[in-house]
Amino acid sequence: MPKFEDFKALSLRDLLLTFGFALVLVITLGYLAYRIVDPTPPKLVTLSTGQENSAYEVLGKRYAEVLARQGIRVKLQRSEGSMANLQRLQEPGSGVDIAFVQSGSTSLKNAEKYGLVSLGSLFVEPVWLFYRDRVRIDNLRDLRGLRINVGPAGTGVPQLFATILDANGMAADDVKLSELENTPATIALLAGKIDGMVFSSSAEALLIQMLLQTPGIRLFHFSQAEAYARRFPFLSAVRLPRGIVDFGRDIPSRDYQLIAPTATLVAREDLHPALVDLLVQAAAEIHGPPGWFHRRSEFPTADFSEVPVASAAEKFYRDGPPLLQRYLPFWLANFLGRMWIVIVALGALLLPLSRVVPPLYVWKVRSRIYRWYGQLRNVEQAIEDAEPDQRRQVFDEQIKRLSDIERRVNRLVVPLSFAEELYGLRSHIDFVRKRIEWLADSV
């Protein structure tokens, strides 16, 4: 006989047999949905920045710090600038996922052709034209014949400056252009080897603040800045306020009107949506504070870009961070936000299963008892069909058969809640035995 401890509230074996199929089904569907939805972002992303010590490189390091808090490693790749970054994004084998690109570097048609999306405009990058005070430049036409450095072809400045010259009725060969990087160009400007240099950068760059305070170096005032902004949608007119560099020394000593494209964070359209959320939130943290040319929270923004804005980024700029991400850790909020449809669907599947599986469990346990009633019925049938001259032999055989059945039934282990059925079976076995013994006595 089994020990009392062998009788449990539930039969683990029967439980697994009945619930196992439903459990395997739910786990399989959940796994397939997880693979399809892919809620977990990759742990490594490659960001193409700019030249050494440039504003793009400095910003790239800040993005790496912010994303590292969420377990994402940002691999930084230097480049010559905006155009080089754009070229990398357009080359499938470059390995670059995101990059800083200056507005006006591409077109909507080209962006759609290469599958590029914008994660937002980050800040304005004014066009700075510094020149030596020995030359007089009141209008861009005064640049004719001067030695002006526009930077390497990989930056966005040569293309932008060519557009500006063309708008002023000048060709690129009307100016003696050179392609030095910013640092050697600054040295050449201070040494008098060139007359001026043009580059586009955020106002916080140390090079800008140094040149604004350097004696003998002047900044060009774009008096037609508003007209440029109306003519070219990727440009905006900005004002450099008087005294913003140094109030005590009144640097600069006047307001300057400048034209400014914007720095845009551009990605491939197949970038994981969770990474898009992280990058946009990082951009809000990094670029949200006020600067020389914008107020608090004016950047990042979905405006000022010819590249179509990613849907997740556009939703962030319209509605703010997702509700779950405001109260939960990012990994959990991202998982629930992307898997909620699957969770609801699995819940809908579990509802009918919860109605079907328990009766199956009950049937499975009872079947272990009820199948012996078939054996009892066979014993009774054998007695009924026995020939008169063979009844004694048949009765003895069926008594032995009942003893075997009883021995095997006594070894059954069922949950305590089914003990009534088990004891009922044992009493019925005894009832059939007594009936056979009574018939045997009457032979």
- Per-residue pLDDT of 338-353, as tens digits, reads 655 666 666 666 666 6
Q: What is the pLDDT of residues 181-191, one digit of tens each?
A: 888 999 999 99
Residues 360, 255: one domain?
no
DSSP state, 73? E
In this prediction, residue 392 carries a pLDDT of 83
List pLDDT tens digits, range 348-386: 666 666 676 677 777 777 888 888 888 888 888 888 888
Q: Which residue has the tokens 């003998």?
A: 216
Written as six digits, the tokens of 332 are 């959990």
Question: In this model, does residue 230 exceed pLDDT 70?
Answer: yes
User: Is 284 part of any domain?
Assistant: no
In a domain, 364, yes or no: yes
Structural domain span for residue 216 = 126-260
Residues 254 and 350 in one domain: no
Q: Are residues 223 and 348 in the same domain?
A: no
Examine residue 320 and state whether it is found in any structural domain, yes or no: no
Transcribe 265-306 into DSSP letters.
EEEETTS-HHHHHHHHHHHHHHH-S--SS--TT--SBS-S-S
pLDDT at 19 over 80: no
* Boundary residue ending a domain (208, 225, 260): 260
* pLDDT of 326 over the 80 cut: no
Task: Tell me the pLDDT tens digit for each residue of 257-291.
Answer: 999 999 999 999 988 888 888 899 899 999 998 88
Quote the pLDDT of residue 6. Answer: 46
* CATH number where 177 lies: 3.40.190.10
Cis check: omega of the bond before 252, within 30 degrees of 0: yes
Res 4: pLDDT: 41
Final residue in a domain of this structure, among 260, 283, 298: 260
Are both 244 and 349 inside the same structural domain?
A: no
pLDDT band at 153, cuts 50/70/90? confident
Please give the pLDDT value at position 166.
Answer: 92
Q: What pLDDT sits at residue 341?
A: 61
Tell whether 98 is covered by a domain.
no
In a domain, 187, yes or no: yes
Would you say residue 146 lies in a domain?
Answer: yes
In a domain, 228, yes or no: yes
Of 119 and 392, the one with more pLDDT? 119
pTM of the predicted structure, to 2 decimals: 0.65
Q: What is the largest CA-CA distance in the chain?
A: 141
Q: Which two tokens stand for residue 365?
A: 């346990």
The domain total for the chain is: 2
Residue 285's pLDDT is 92
Domain boundary (211, 231, 260) is at 260
Give the C-alpha separation, 375 to 108, whole Å: 81
Q: Are residues 230 and 350 in the same domain?
A: no
Domain assignment present for 391: yes
Task: Quote the CA–CA distance of 332 and 39 in Å, as a whole number.
Answer: 10
Q: Are residues 227 and 344 in the same domain?
A: no
